[in-house]
């Protein structure tokens, strides 16, 4: 597996660099996705080690992190956007890329290849299927956590209103700082919100913050807190009725979640 993993890293690096261009606006997004791929790969491996998975399963987690956003590159080349709603689901597109262009999936066992495909397919969906169980559920949860943890890092520099216009097009929204009513209800009730419905910069900040309720492992949540990601989003929320209720509920949830031991 170690040699296979090395070949996969080389292939992915070469694949990403096929999308390098002199167009700086395009490269802003491509560069973010390249860096994100590296971070998520490392986080997935670190989380797998924290969960005391076997070395084989740690390597599988690394493969999932490496390829989780492979579809982003073709997505942008075709549609000139990273917005799934305006183009194509990037996880499903990534599975097509792996099937058509990546020669090493066939070197995995049938079981391992299916686990990789399953985790990638559901890393960006609103939720994991209710019938998921065993290693499928474990790896889907692991990859979703690794992805979310790094997206907080990616979005952090663009929280300030004066920097919002510097953000790549795929993470921009209407400049209004106010949170829409439906999103505020979700926040006060401690629920996820439908990101397809976001309209304002305030919505975009809040929907990312609400990911807290979809984090699977205490380890991930602890990292988010330690790195200041959650507090930074909270600090940039508008002074709007209901925000304080949502913030209090969230911190109570975080405290309870982080106090529990991770189990698989």
Can you give the chain as a three-state secondary structure string?
CHHHHHHHHHHHHHHHHCCCCCCHHHHHHHHHHHHHHHHHHHHHHHHHHHCCCCHHHHHHHHHHHHHCCHHHHHHHHHHCCCCHHHCCCHHHHHHHHHHHHCCCHHHCCHHHHHHHHHHHHCCCCCCCCCCCCHHHHHHHHHHHHHHHHHHHHHHHHHCCHHHHHHCCHHHCCECCCCCCHHHHHHHHHCCCCCHHHCCEHHHHHHHHHHHHHHCCCHHHHHHHHHCCHHHHHHHCCCCCCCHHHHHHHHHHHHHHHHHCCCCC
Domain ranges across the chain: 2-152, 173-259
pLDDT at 140: 98
pLDDT at position 196: 72
Prediction pTM value: 0.91
- Provide the percentage of residues in the chain whose pLDDT is more than 90: 71
Q: What is the pLDDT of residue 173?
A: 47
Q: What pLDDT sits at residue 151? A: 94
Q: Which residues of the chain have pLDDT under 50?
A: 170, 173-174
Assigned CATH topology for domain 2-152: Hypothetical protein af1432 (1.10.3210)
* pLDDT per position as a tens digit, 229-244: 999 999 999 889 999 9
pLDDT for res 145: 98
Q: Check residue 175 and give its pLDDT.
A: 56
């Amino acid at each position: 597996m170690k040699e296979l993993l090395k070949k996969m890293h080389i292939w992915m690096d070469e694949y990403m660099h096929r999308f390098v261009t002199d167009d700086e606006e395009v490269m802003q997004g491509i560069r973010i996705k390249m860096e994100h791929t590296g971070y998520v790969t490392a986080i997935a491996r670190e989380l797998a080690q924290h969960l005391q998975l076997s070395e084989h399963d740690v390597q599988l987690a690394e493969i999932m992190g490496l390829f989780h956003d492979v579809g982003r590159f073709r997505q942008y080349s075709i549609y000139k956007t990273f917005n799934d709603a305006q183009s194509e689901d990037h996880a499903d597109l990534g599975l097509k890329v792996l099937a058509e262009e990546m020669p090493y999936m066939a070197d995995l066992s049938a079981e391992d290849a299916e686990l990789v495909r399953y985790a990638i397919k559901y890393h960006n969906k609103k939720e994991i299927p209710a019938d998921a169980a065993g290693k499928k559920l474990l790896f889907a949860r692991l990859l979703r956590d690794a992805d979310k943890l790094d997206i907080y890092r990616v979005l952090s520099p663009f929280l300030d209103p004066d920097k919002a216009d510097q953000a790549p097009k795929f993470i921009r929204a209407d400049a209004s700082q106010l949170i829409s009513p439906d999103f505020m209800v979700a926040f006060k009730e401690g629920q996820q919100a439908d990101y397809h419905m976001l309209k304002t910069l305030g919505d975009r900040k809040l929907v990312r913050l609400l990911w807290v309720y979809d984090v699977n492992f205490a380890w991930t949540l602890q990292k988010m807190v330690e790195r200041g990601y959650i507090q930074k989003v909270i600090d940039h929320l508008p002074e709007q009725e209901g925000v304080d209720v949502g913030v209090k509920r969230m911190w109570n949830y975080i405290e309870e979640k982080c106090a529990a031991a991770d189990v698989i």
